[in-house]
Amino acid sequence: MRLRLPLERSPLLPLAPHPSALYLTLLALAMTLLPHTGFQPLWISALAYALIGWRALVEWRGWRLPPLSLRLALYAATLAGILLSFHALHGREAGTAFLLGMLALKLLETRTRRDLVVVIFIGYFGVITTFLFSETLPVALWMVAATVTLTAALIATHQLPTQGRQRAGRPQLATAGALLLQALPLMLILFLLFPRHTGPLWGLPEVRTAAVTGLSDTMQPGSINQLVFSDAVAFRADFADAPPPAGQLYWRGPVLTHTDGRSWRATPLPPGQPPRATPATAIGSYYDYTVILEAHGERWVLALDVPLEAPSGATLIEGYQLISRETIDSRSRFQLRSAPQWRSEPLTPEAWLDALQLPDGYHPRARALANQLTAGSDNDQERVARVLAHFRDQPFYYTERPPLLLDDPVDQFLFEAQRGFCEHYAAAFTVLMRAAGVPARVVTGYHGGQVNPLGNHLTVRQSDAHAWSEVWLEGRGWTRVDPTSVIPPSRVELSQQTQRIREPAFDGRTLDERPAPHWQPSGLDHLRMGWDSVNHRWNRWVLGYSREEQERLFGRLGWPQLSLRGLLLTLLLAVGIAAVATFALLQLLGRERVDKVSRPWRRLLQRLARHGHRPERGEPPTRFAQRIEALQPSLAPQLSEIAALYTRLRYGRDTDPADLSCLRRMVRRLRV
């Protein structure tokens, strides 16, 4: 025989434990679903919100819930839609869509308190799945609010119906907020001491590509006739000391060595661990800094030109490129060291041939131009200077709207279009150098960055994506040459919006020689930098709290070699201390409140005891008052009012502080 509790059999509405329980649940579910609208198909979000609205109307209008046949049809249609959209029911996207769809459909059969509790707990899982797609600070704050609302709804479902006035949802929200505050110490301890995972905790945020400025391991000059500058953050950097001057802010990414005449590509990485390269030798000072990369779906690590060593989790390969051991699908943090002046190792014969490779049948006019410009040159450095002078003196323009070059991009750019952006100039310069017998290659990455004075860090955006060249000079090794920098400002054609984002300054001088830009930030700029600073701290101290950071923390505390067992014991000890301290504090605060209420009631019991009236063991105050009134009718109804007021103050939540004064006054006036 199955025992059924009255709570399970009682209908949810209108005999709900609190009138706002269902509405609080619907509000919490709507808040939980909101961040998913940017990651799920539109029909999933539309279906979920339509069902939430339908359930609200059912309660408000007093309609019947849909019949079983309609619910089954909706279940089948939702399941079919998920299969058509994702071709599966498992995985991050499909699994989350299935969870959200079934959560919304569950509302159509919610009749009891138990049903509502099930919906709320599934809503908690909906909160968790949000972090599979986004871990940004706004999303985290929004999900905290959703969690508080879900907890308030859970509290409301377990409260018995009460008499008198009620503020819809406010007491439950206050209680849920108090519970969250009480959990903060435990949450902080778990965050700091729980063993960190080497990979992303929640999953892999989706990486979307678009025809905007950014970075790729291939380059095809002439295939794009409009460059759209993206203001999205590529990475942020914190320097141990002052950041380098503007002329040294070249952030090294993929090095492109091979060309087929139309496109450039990096050397394919072999499967498994890529081969390590000999680090460069620093000449003079170097910079220590931390880079926090946004997810880009590749393995390269952006480093200030050039990195001197590989950080933890990365490898230094040919071309002084840093390659992560895992795909960077979530924000990643790297401790780096780079030198602005460096000396490279001698070129191997294979690398020498690769740096001179040109495809047959391409660039005939560029080859002839290279021979013409460099004829009679005494050394490679003079050949570089002559080619740069050609770009500076001839009518070459930097523009975000270059013409399409689909035949021979280099020849068409040099002799016909003479308009392009950094890819055109880097590719053309590298071809001219190779045609002149100078080893050269294309380097892609980012150039520049904006110093945020509020956070004292450097923010590099996708609009800072850049391409330049490197040439091999005898006695100096690989040397950076940026042909774009020699274009005079009078031949720079950018829209006002692009100038606002990028603010280029090409005037023929090196960046170290240019004066600092005269830019006065507006109020909106201050807000933007403030928000960027907050995001940077969130990424660095919360999302970037890795196993290495945890080890450094324990090192500062005097435990540099804490084992996993020691870490777990420390975690258990800290949790135990926090739990005991929190319990003691709550008991102390609760006792103070109970003592104030119980003191007048105890005085009344002492007066009644002198007349032989004592409460029985476990007897509630209201029943004790009814028994005494039956024995001594003169005490009615004052004693019943005192007992009811004491019970409300002692055990209730929605109380008025003036009621305590009223209780004291009624006890004083009662004549036994």
- Domain borders along the chain are 6-193, 218-514+521-528, 567-669
CATH code given to domain 218-514+521-528: 3.10.620.30
Lowest mean pLDDT among 297-306, 366-375, 457-466, 498-507: 498-507
Lowest mean pLDDT among 24-28, 344-348, 420-424, 552-556: 552-556
CA distance 480 to 280: 14
Structure tokens at 498: 């692009």
CB-based contact 89:35 (threshold 8 Å): no
CB-based contact 599:213 (threshold 8 Å): no
Quick check: 432 pLDDT over 90?
Answer: yes
- Percent pLDDT > 70 in the chain is 76
Quick one: pLDDT band at residue 546, thresholds 50, 70, 90? low
CA distance 279 to 320: 7
Mean pLDDT of the chain: 79
CB-based contact 265:277 (threshold 8 Å): no
Quick one: pLDDT band at residue 165, thresholds 50, 70, 90? very low
Say which residues have a Cβ less than 8 Å from residue 536's Cβ, sequence separation at least 6: 236, 292, 452, 455, 457, 459
pTM beyond 0.95, yes or no: no
What local confidence, expressed as pLDDT, does residue 544 receive?
65
pLDDT one-digit tens code per residue, 409-430: 999 999 998 888 889 999 999 9
- Residue 62, classified by CB atoms within 10 Å of its CB into exposed (0-12), middle (13-18) or buried (19+), is exposed
CB-based contact 157:16 (threshold 8 Å): yes
CB-based contact 313:324 (threshold 8 Å): yes
Query: Rounded to a whole number, what is the distance in angstroms from the first to the last CA of the chain?
Result: 52
CA distance 492 to 419: 10
pLDDT one-digit tens code per residue, 617-636: 878 888 888 888 888 888 77
Active-site residue numbers? 422, 466, 482
More confident residue, 505 or 363: 363
pLDDT one-digit tens code per residue, 42-52: 999 999 999 99
Number of neighbours of residue 51 by Cβ within 10 angstroms: 21
Q: List the one residue out of 210, 221, 295 whose CA is nearest residue 256.
A: 221
What local confidence, expressed as pLDDT, does residue 634 receive?
80
Q: List the one residue out of 408, 411, 472 whose CA is nearest residue 437.
A: 472
At 233, which helix (H) or strand (E)? strand 233-239
Q: List the one residue out of 648, 662, 593, 663 whose CA is nearest residue 163.
A: 648
Quick one: pLDDT band at residue 222, thresholds 50, 70, 90? low
More confident residue, 395 or 518: 395
Q: What is the average per-residue pLDDT within 651-655?
A: 66
Quick check: 216 pLDDT over 90?
Answer: no
β-strand pairing of 397-399 with 419-420: parallel
Quick check: 4 pLDDT over 70?
Answer: no
